[in-house]
Structure 1
Amino acid sequence: MINTYYPIGASLDKNGQCTFSVWAPMCSSVSVVLDASPEVTWPMEKREAGYWCVKVDHVTPGMQYRYKLDNELLRPDPASRWQPEGVHGPSAVVDTNFSWTDSAWQGIELADMIIYELHTGTFTPEGNFQGIISKLDYLQSLGITAIEILPIAQFPGHHNWGYDGVYPFAIQNTYGTAEDLKRLVNEAHHRGIAVILDVVYNHAGPEGNYLPDFAPYFTDKYKLYWGQSVNFDSAWCDGVRNYVIQNALLWLDEFHIDALRLDAVHAIFDSSALHIMEELTQQVRLLEQRTKKRKILIAEFDLNNPRYITPVEQGGFGMDAQWVDEFHHALHAVITGEQSGYYEDFGGLDLLARSLQTSYVYTGQYSKHRKRHFGKEPLNTLYNQCIAFVQNHDQVGNRLLGDRISTLLSPEALKLAAAALLLSPHVPLLFMGEEYGEKNPFQFFTSHSDPELIKNLVEGRRKEFAAFNWEGEVPNPQDEAVFNQSKLSWKLNEVPGLFDFYQHLIAFRKKRPALRNFRRNDAVRNITVQNNILHFERHGHYDVLTVCLNFGAAPQSVQLEQSCLKIFDSSDKKWEGPGSQAPEVVQPAQSFSMNPYSAVVFEQTNSNQ
């Protein structure tokens, strides 16, 4: 572990004195230039490990500045807290004071999370943090307990998914201010909603990335698909590691964020004895101890490697949870019939059953798509360490047209997909608009200004889609219409009955003890696949539920071994379905019929735990 973590950026005191700190170990001189008086420079003192520092009096919030490197280059602050004129403009000093009223909030555990992923720019017509605040009551009524916000680091232009950010400490200037984000977190906590922030530590965007002018932030030691690899293990990597850890702690501490979702950790290469993910986890645990509030780290990756969520004492990195893409892949392939691209590894109902049992589908078997044996069983982990979904920004936005599953499936199949997710033992994540069947696409959009970059971007998208055999032209991500049509319509009756069904299932998940057990050895039992029927039992605290899912386009006959009482059927008329065929009471070995694309849940009446 690094012995000392150095503060970076511009820190403003109440008396108007501002401390500027920047890491530039290769520079022979660094000075601060205030835009208010550009003819005056403030030489900085070089300290240990390549950090430069100076204190400047009479600084006010909003004052703009740059760093002058070696008396030549004028550059924004790598740890800028605000870029009012975008990625190429000066940095600005920020007042960090805020009147928090969430002192009673202690955070929530993963087991209690119903996550709702959203993109700030397309979630509401306003496209900003205030727009999200205006929908918090709606999300609370749905039953959401955590919102996950796609990256908000300053990116080029007006609109972007957020993964082209180049100032990880600065909030995208079109979304609002630091105060606006704090107000959002504060309001969410008052409604019992945690806030998860998506952060990107595996690469930086290509436009406005001035980090190499300051220090060796990147390395050619590893090859990365979307840009240079971040330097976590070569010469001068200590400053890079400090940069990332300071950023993570900023959101979790100053902004009261409850969890970070770390983008594509499989693209974070680190051969150090202390992996950067383990070091980050250590620092977050210390923050938890100091603040007495729960802070969670979620890894996004698709390598089916439980090491990231395995405790440190067992040789892991100690992170709290991970995304599970293979639940999505297995469900999507079964319910849509698609089997191109990475879906070629899926399609059988037995593979969805395997995901329900082991979270990963591939735990060492041969993968046709990857052309190798792949994965490892996640032993000694809990189901609530795995986050599953029917849709997310990647799985929708990385389709050729950004088409949502609501445009591919019938209303009954949409309810079946919702049931498969919310009755699974994993932590569920909904993608914005999924709960009412949003039909507007969520496409990939950017607003770069570099013509060569734009050309390469469009060509890269075309190559990426080749394996899926999708027909049609690749939409130009720079087209303003692509961004605008990706905004939610908020037609809450888009698919009649769907919102009510989601609301009911979420409430049901919260109250049933059988759905609150996340132990791998007994939470899910007796998984069986018969023709197009997948049925399994959920056990917990003397509560036993039998879940029957019909993925067929025709009615199916089912027999259960235990006597059961029907709790609900997704085809009930109260959710605009055709009406349930299943009886209210089922006796052992009694056959009954299930509607096409339906989910029926029974309560066992004579079983023991």
Structure 2
Amino acid sequence: MQFDVWAPQADRVTLQCDGATRALERDPERVGWWTGRAQAVDGTRYGFGLDGGAVLPDPRSRRQPDGPDGLSAVVDHGRYAWRTPWQGRGLPGAVLYELHVGTYTREGTLDAAAERLDHLAELGITHVELMPLTPVPGRHGWGYDGVAPWAVHEPYGGPEALKRFVDRAHELGLGVVLDVVHNHLGPSGNHLPAFGPYFTDTHQTPWGAAVNLDAPGSDEVRAYFLESALAWLRDYRLDGLRLDAVHALHDTRARHFLEELSAAVDGLAAEVGRPLFLVAESDLNDPRIITPRGEHGLGLHAQWNDDFHHALHTALTGESQGYYADFARAPLAALAKTLNRGYFHDGTYSSFRGRDHGRPLDRGRVGAHRLLGYSQTHDQIGNRAQGDRLSATLSPGLLACAATLTLTAPSTPMLFMGEEWAAGTPWQYFTDHTDPELAEAVRQGRRREFAAHGWAEEDVPDPQDPATRERSCLDWSEPEREPHARVLSWYRRLIGLRRELPDLTAPDLADTKVAYDEEGRWLAFRRGDVRVAVNLGKQPAAIPLGTGRLRVLAAWDPVLAPGPDGLLQVPGESCVVLTQA
């Protein structure tokens, strides 16, 4: 078997393979690369030594059986016999479901999660979006401080377990999307700097020096992350990738890394004969990210739309701190704008940022499905001091309103695990750092962060306490009892309507007509023949839906179709979906 490693700064590189050490030779055709051969099979342990130093894991390791600091292991992807033929499932018409493997079940493994996938198929979900799977220190964590961007966290089950998970998902008709992190690596177990200029001080990020996408040596670094992305899609038969915080990918080159990545993914899709897509997390409100490359965009297929979340959250809760301040002045007006124009900040002034922010979407060129809309995500729950979900403070009726707006809006809807039954469990920030100093730094940093917002130290969960993760695990007995069962039934009905009614997946943002009353706390909109009305107030509201015969398709509380005056009487904290009779 051939072993290769990029180590341009080394004078001598050795391979330790299955207990034996041998010298590698410089590759005459690739500058900075070292190569050699050794006997190896699936599972063989190996690592690289640089200039007589300690043996380090392979930067392109496919498996880390003993964690980020241990030796790498060879993975023979050809050994797995795929059971399920799969033609792929694209993004248009999708309903995504964000899932954290470590808390979706108490067991916290991919195999245990796979046993619960029938619940998602019955719900009507089309794609499971897995939070990051790359190795992290210890057993449990969110995944965003991972290293080894080709490998699967061993406590989750490793590479074979991910294949079994994907196989089961595809058997049920579910696509699988993976959250990947290209903007930084974790602070523990990151050995890349020993091998080469993977990071640069030319740019700074919240995590320190930026990934080197444009400084000397960046050709190989770009290839490193690009090939990692393609490997996930090819070797594990994934359907898409969610790219974490692309605004932290600093790249001044004429061809941006994201453009290069999107072209490579489109090329792989043509090669394998099934749709593949990339979804960006971005707070830039820059439509060029999701504009096709042929129209001078970066060519990503979709992006998370936090503006929709912020407007909806503010309308539901009345919260106005931090970035919610921009939306709290007139939350229903902000929500109406996101329903019709996509972004709320499209060149408008942001008090949170102290400057103008964003630019308008060209609604004639950017389809509505390219924006993901949601009422809750791992970030928006877990980055609250106590990880409280909307269900901790809102009535079932308001939760139904949130679901209705998310699942009937023009954007592609995404749910966060447990949301569909108003889970009573929180989802908190937890870590399992094995370095005591790092663990204490994270613990104290979390307390300082929330102390600045008025939280008492004892009210901020300790990320390192195993009980923090335990509290965050879903309780699978909840969906069987009230009020959870009723909320779950409502989600099923809404997802069913989205599947049945073409108007609810129509791509034209401009076709969404919205009316609202800020003081009355109601909002209504029309998409083709479909009408949606939500009353966020406690008192009944008379909501004008226009003349013409309408038929109720779904109502949280009993309602009568509008009379000749076009007014629909909607109970407080309730919602309804109608269509032309």
Give the alignment's TM-score, normalised by structure 2: 0.95
Match of 2:474 in 1: 488
Q: RMSD of the TM alignment (CA)? A: 1.6
Match of 2:399 in 1: 414
Separation of aligned partners in 2, 1:345 and 1:427 = 24
Deviation at 1:285, TM superposition (A): 1.2
Match of 2:384 in 1: 399
Deviation at 1:568, TM superposition (A): 3.7
- Percent identical residues: 41
- Alignment of 1:517 onto 2:506: yes
| Pairs within 5 Å for 1:15-26 | 18-26=1-9
Deviation at 1:466, TM superposition (A): 5.5
Query: For 1:438, what is the secondary structure of its paired residue?
Result: coil
Separation of aligned partners in 1, 2:119 and 2:173 = 13
Give the one of 481, 485, 498 matched to 2:487. Answer: 498
Separation of aligned partners in 2, 1:591 and 1:334 = 22
Whether the aligned pair in 1 keeps the contact of 2:184 and 2:210 (CA below 8 Å) is yes
| Pairs within 5 Å for 1:337-348 | 337-347=318-328, 348=331
Separation of aligned partners in 2, 1:109 and 1:471 = 46
Deviation at 1:470, TM superposition (A): 4.5
Deviation at 1:75, TM superposition (A): 0.9
- Alignment of 1:457 onto 2:442: yes
Separation of aligned partners in 1, 2:347 and 2:75 = 50
Deviation at 1:261, TM superposition (A): 0.2
Deviation at 1:311, TM superposition (A): 1.1
Whether the aligned pair in 2 keeps the contact of 1:569 and 1:598 (CA below 8 Å) is no
Give the one of 198, 210, 216 matched to 1:217. Answer: 198
Whether the aligned pair in 1 keeps the contact of 2:514 and 2:523 (CA below 8 Å) is no
Query: For 2:185, what is the secondary structure of its paired residue?
Result: coil
Deviation at 1:157, TM superposition (A): 0.7
Separation of aligned partners in 1, 2:555 and 2:352 = 34
Deviation at 1:471, TM superposition (A): 5.2
Whether the aligned pair in 2 keeps the contact of 1:323 and 1:388 (CA below 8 Å) is yes
Q: What's the CA shift string for 1:363-410, capped at 9, x where partnerless? A: 111111111111111112111000011111000000000011111101
Give the one of 288, 297, 300 matched to 1:319. Answer: 300
- Alignment of 1:263 onto 2:244: yes
**Greater CA drift, 73-82 or 462-471:** 462-471
Deviation at 1:569, TM superposition (A): 4.7
- Alignment of 1:226 onto 2:211: no
**Greater CA drift, 93-102 or 25-34:** 93-102
Separation of aligned partners in 2, 1:467 and 1:364 = 30
Deviation at 1:469, TM superposition (A): 4.2
Separation of aligned partners in 1, 2:150 and 2:400 = 40
Give the one of 515, 520, 525 matched to 1:527. Answer: 515
Whether the aligned pair in 2 keeps the contact of 1:564 and 1:602 (CA below 8 Å) is no
Deviation at 1:93, TM superposition (A): 1.2
Query: For 2:3, what is the secondary structure of its paired residue?
Result: strand
- Alignment of 1:479 onto 2:502: no
Give the alignment's TM-score, normalised by structure 1: 0.91
Match of 1:13 in 2: none
Query: For 2:31, what is the secondary structure of its paired residue?
Result: helix
- Alignment of 1:126 onto 2:114: no
Amino acid at match of 2:499: K
Match of 1:50 in 2: 32
Deviation at 1:241, TM superposition (A): 0.7
Query: For 2:151, what is the secondary structure of its paired residue?
Result: strand
Q: What's the CA shift string for 1:442-480, capped at 9, x where partnerless? A: 111111122332233233323443565455532221111
Match of 1:100 in 2: 82
Q: What's the CA shift string for 1:192-240, capped at 9, x where partnerless? A: 1000000000000000111000001001111111232100000001110
Whether the aligned pair in 1 keeps the contact of 2:342 and 2:509 (CA below 8 Å) is no
- Alignment of 1:184 onto 2:172: no
Task: Count the aligned residue pairs.
Answer: 570
Deviation at 1:83, TM superposition (A): 0.9
Distance 1:396 1:429, change over 3 A: same
Match of 2:189 in 1: 208
Distance 1:93 1:284, change over 3 A: same
Q: What's the CA shift string for 1:100-154, capped at 9, x where partnerless? A: 2333x22122122111110011101221111121011111001011000000001
Amino acid at match of 1:317: L
Separation of aligned partners in 2, 1:568 and 1:469 = 45
Match of 2:359 in 1: 376
Give the one of 64, 81, 98 matched to 1:83. Answer: 64
Q: What's the CA shift string for 1:520-559, capped at 9, x where partnerless? A: 232x1243436211111011xxxx0111111112111223
Give 5+ residue unaligned stretches, structure 2.
Answer: none
Separation of aligned partners in 2, 1:526 and 1:435 = 26
Whether the aligned pair in 2 keeps the contact of 1:341 and 1:467 (CA below 8 Å) is no
Separation of aligned partners in 2, 1:354 and 1:467 = 32
- Alignment of 1:243 onto 2:219: no
Match of 1:593 in 2: 569
- Alignment of 1:149 onto 2:130: yes
Match of 2:408 in 1: 423
Whether the aligned pair in 2 keeps the contact of 1:43 and 1:54 (CA below 8 Å) is yes
Give the one of 358, 364, 374 matched to 2:341. Answer: 358
| Pairs within 5 Å for 1:32-47 | 32-34=15-17, 36-38=18-20, 40-47=21-28
Whether the aligned pair in 2 keeps the contact of 1:412 and 1:570 (CA below 8 Å) is no
- Alignment of 1:73 onto 2:54: yes
Deviation at 1:255, TM superposition (A): 0.9
Separation of aligned partners in 2, 1:546 and 1:564 = 12
Query: For 1:536, what is the secondary structure of its paired residue?
Result: strand
Match of 1:14 in 2: none
Give 5+ residue unaligned stretches, structure 1.
Answer: 1-17, 573-579
Amino acid at match of 2:398: A
Deviation at 1:564, TM superposition (A): 3.1
| Pairs within 5 Å for 1:284-323 | 284-323=265-304
**Greater CA drift, 545-554 or 44-53:** 44-53
Match of 2:526 in 1: 537
Query: For 2:150, what is the secondary structure of its paired residue?
Result: strand
**Greater CA drift, 233-242 or 456-465:** 456-465
Distance 1:81 1:388, change over 3 A: same
Whether the aligned pair in 2 keeps the contact of 1:328 and 1:390 (CA below 8 Å) is yes
